[in-house]
Structure 1
């Protein structure tokens, strides 16, 4: 180790100061080392740039018990000391690479180069350099690691097309043993008829500026062959031509491409020959793909639908919005009525799911399977209608039997009521008020008797005897009988023309119609509101104006005769009103909006039947919260 005090150089001259300054600018450390006869090692002088490279001052570098400097990595100390003693024994140059640990705890590589000489006193002295070789060692390590762990095969070929070097992947793919690749002609690694890499470079202009790509057949040492995709690059070094070949075994890729081609062929065949319509569309409805079956469902199949919008055929109200479409892996189904160019009525069942058609798309596409269920829908609708008609017929038959029995019993009870009231009116002396009341009882009993007779006639399928009667008088009789029975919280307004108007029918049936309508109005107003009863003559021009033009919605009064006068009887209330769906079904048998036990759903159905039997029609005007107005229009009897 360095000794205190000035060094004793004996016959050795100290280094020249100019040389020390030159060495200070290099990434190397100059030193002098001596091996004394007692076997100890000393470093009498170390250049000052050791501080810059190692982080230790020269005087801080000590020699350990094993003969190595303290900065030498522990794993290299024995090797370094053995190299020093071997150089001293043979007086041969000492060239050894070793690692050191700097003051910053960094491992660096030094390369020692020194020549020994033996002095007369038995000492062996070396003057040498430690060159900082860290960068080249790390670069070589990274290069070696990259080459050995690369998945691509890498060959370096000489100008005679023999392999000078290859990496581990090349040895593994081509089945080459250790040391077998060096000097091997590259032609033995390719199939017959394949061009050599040098020929490819020579035939291709500008090959020095860009690599050449080619697929070829590789041949392993066991004789098996495989597809090999390679890139050939020209390399000129020291005036000599070399070639770098980089490639990989593409057997898996070829198998995957073949399987994908087979799968695509099967999928395309299924897509073309499927009986269901198949559509791939974007979220905005643009059709991206469609099969021939769907094109035939839309038209004649001669016009492609790609680029058109599905919303032109299927209304957006049928298809769910993008936010409500289930995620990929889940599907939705719906039945819709498309609007086809030919205007034909169709019913489609659409089953759809979202999926990513392309990996680079911002949003997924929709895959739709379209089935034409027109015939099935019609058959199902007809079956439901037949079943409903059968069910309603059975109910009507049972109700008719029940109504016949009830009407018969009511007829038996009405006889004593009418007879008793007439006896009181003829024999008892009554004041004017009670006399009026008794007259009302007799009139109500007679009307009830007519209603019961009508029910019995209907149940027994008897024909009604109809004749002209004054509808104005029947209207007045009904109002005189019905208005006093209404709650006092319902205000009644009567609007009628004084002229006598003749219609064909039965007064009792007309009063039955009005009674049903008034009872419904009373229930709709919940006992509080205004009931308006009207009767007026309706001229043909006024009726035509009320019906409207060709673009107006259908009106039940449109089926009446265009010429001739009619009478209009109206019943209006200020009740809760009806929405469009309820108005469409109010005349259906057994349909009612009343709670269970408060309505049978037959009242308006009977009303419509009686009005039609009298040659007239009935219409309703209503809206939610706006009340309801029923209009009965009957043809007048000619004078």
Structure 2
């Protein structure tokens, strides 16, 4: 077509069809497309742009200047200056703000339209929403950080378990040698108590790093457990919060690990405290409940029957439906950055579920929150193990035991504890020395007591080589980590294991158990 010639009808139709196709492409494009002035006014945008930024309509989106989308003042002006120099910006990452103020992460392509005088007159932009991708990346980084912190915590806990084994063991033997009236007993009892609390802290570190031994579930009296926690919980929440505990007489017994149930209750109480920064009321109630078929439909693994229900209710700020629906998701937290891991409630949920129960939450904004724990009632008396008192009974023997431990103080303690109980003890600081003793010793070695983490030759390899020389020798492993045992154990019958820190009483008890049972293949 040359200048001055009229446009034919076919050319007009082709032009209209081209415009229609472009308009359809523009309207249906999944990226957020816009045309704007250098000053930031939106001349045109598509529905995807409006939806992406949280506007109800294209008209509403056009009324919002580009400057209002940036969280930092002057960011749009800096972008325009860069566009004037570069003329085209491709694959630029940016964080914008939606209409409701929530962050929107985008990858954008921006093209400048220049006039004959090379002045920027219009901006064409294309936005791709990568917010979900960014969240996944952040969760991955968080997960990797938690894994690294977990490994660090596990390593620290392993070292402390060795120290605590020595402290607790020597204190226990010193107490056994002192008469009841000795003035020094009170000081030693304080050391024993403090080391016990330190051991509990180490167990928490190992639980966090997933390296704690699986604790046997015993029959618990929850009424007694809650009563024992009362004083500690009052210190935990502070004087500005009123704590009320009510336990039904004749409360049923449940089968669970006492330490884990304590962890769940403490976690829920801490969350309740954080929801009441200006004070309030916290009520812990426990009662027997019989759940019918209709009441257990929301939990697939629950069955109709008799349960103990623990209700923890606070008068705090409460939660909206969206928050309530996500509280048991790993890494979800409403606390400030750095104030919470987002693992507390998921861990609590997992503990209760593993105990055959269920954890349920109810809440509304301004009406506080209630967490309900259901644990199945079992028959039988509460285990005396939860009281925590050592029997003090001796576990004597006369067998020969080869102790292999690279920590001198732990090895010395084990030797002394076993010799006090009548055993003949050989000891070695590493696997090589242990093999030489095994080869040279003329008599029977009844038991190999070895740490798993030895230099050069680890405990499991040592046990396998020693078994070739002495097929009748039994094996007892020790470690500050529990997962070292589980990671490589595929046997139907797990090897005998004693987790650090252990006391002389626990050591001699476990040794006697292993020596008294049938042959164990390492």
Q: Under a length normalisation based on structure 1, what TM-score does the superposition of the two structures give?
A: 0.37
Identify, as 1 or 2, the structure richer in helix.
2
Q: Under a length normalisation based on structure 2, what TM-score does the superposition of the two structures give?
A: 0.44
Structure ranking higher on relative contact order (CA contacts 8 Å, 6+ apart): 2
